[in-house]
A = this chain, B = another copy of it.
């Protein structure tokens, strides 16, 4: 119930109380070697008493360094990004850095606005995964020549000389097709995302090459697309179901799609893991609890990706002349 005012203590007040100069207080507080032990102790004692806490806003301002990084992701609620955030917070916390966050919700305008905010906050670096609808990459240039290091991960722009950490979707796809083939499947389908999405493009290409690698023919009817809505997912499954030569094995775009299509398959009377088999690009292992989970899933290690990206960012912050880092994490089939 103290009538403790709202104004935080400053070094000046400590100085006045001790009848010494503010600079001495400053140095004492920072354990500057030139200050006598007694003085240092006296200063610290009074600082404690007065509940002194350094005003970081002043320090940030003066030092032109904020010990803060900005993290900009498409979404903060998706499990993939949650694991990422968690790792980023850990790495940052270890290094005494603070994290400010924003979600673009795949809105390019919002994305740019948040980036601007980060910049005006003078963050020491930016970690970001680009939204699906971002086409204009000017902001990048602006950021870069403002000297703020930036590291992309997961969804990265296709530009040379930037720092990025991404996932190689092909390795997991290869393993998936191999696994299907090893079990005797020949009619293998792909339920892909929206056609214009780079992530879809990549899945398609690696799907085709994995088929080829296994000596299988490609039938274009076996690639269907979904707009990632539940309706779209179900429609995609319907298309496959309607085929005269129904596929017995399916690789699907991601968890959410897989959940929908598996349900749709069940509703059509197909017996999971008997009539039809699924492998999903997956973000988290919830499958183990299901009675009929997908046959396998392709793990992209969002936590690891984010962690690595954060580490690169901190390297860059401490050594701006570092050459651009480009890391690729292999995706892996988990069964």
Contacts and interface: CB of A to CB of B under 8 A. Distances in A.
Interface in A248-288: 259-260, 262-263, 266, 286, 288
Interface in A108-128: 110, 114, 116-117, 119-122
This protein's copies in its complex: 2
A326 interface: no
Max count, chain B CB within 10 A of own CB: residue among A83, A90, A145: A145
A57 B121 contact: yes
A286 B293 CA distance: 14
Given A79-B79, A145-B2, A292 B291 contact: yes
Contacts of A85: 76-77, 85, 101
B83 A77 contact: yes
A305 interface: no
B100 A56 contact: no
A205 to B, nearest CB: 29
Contact of A82 (B54, B60, B82): B82
Contacts of A266: 291
Contacts of A4: 145-146
A280 to B, nearest CB: 12
Contact of A76 (B78, B89, B263): B89
A259 B289 CA distance: 6
A322 to B, nearest CB: 15
Nearest to A117: B98
Contacts of A64: 57
B122 A56 contact: yes
A69 to B, nearest CB: 10
A273 B82 CA distance: 32
A66 interface: yes
Nearest to A2: B145
A55 B98 contact: no
Given A77-B83, A79-B79, A100 B68 contact: yes
Interface string A3-26: 010101000000000000000000
A8 B146 contact: yes
Interface in A66-94: 66, 68, 75-79, 82-83, 85-86, 89-90, 93
A58 interface: yes
A290 B90 CA distance: 33
9 contacts: A2-B145, A6-B146, A53-B119, A57-B61, A75-B86, A77-B83, A79-B79, A85-B85, A259-B286
Interface of A: 2, 4, 6, 8, 51, 53-58, 60-61, 64, 66, 68, 75-79, 82-83, 85-86, 89-90, 93, 98-103, 110, 114, 116-117, 119-122, 142, 145-147, 259-260, 262-263, 266, 286, 288-292
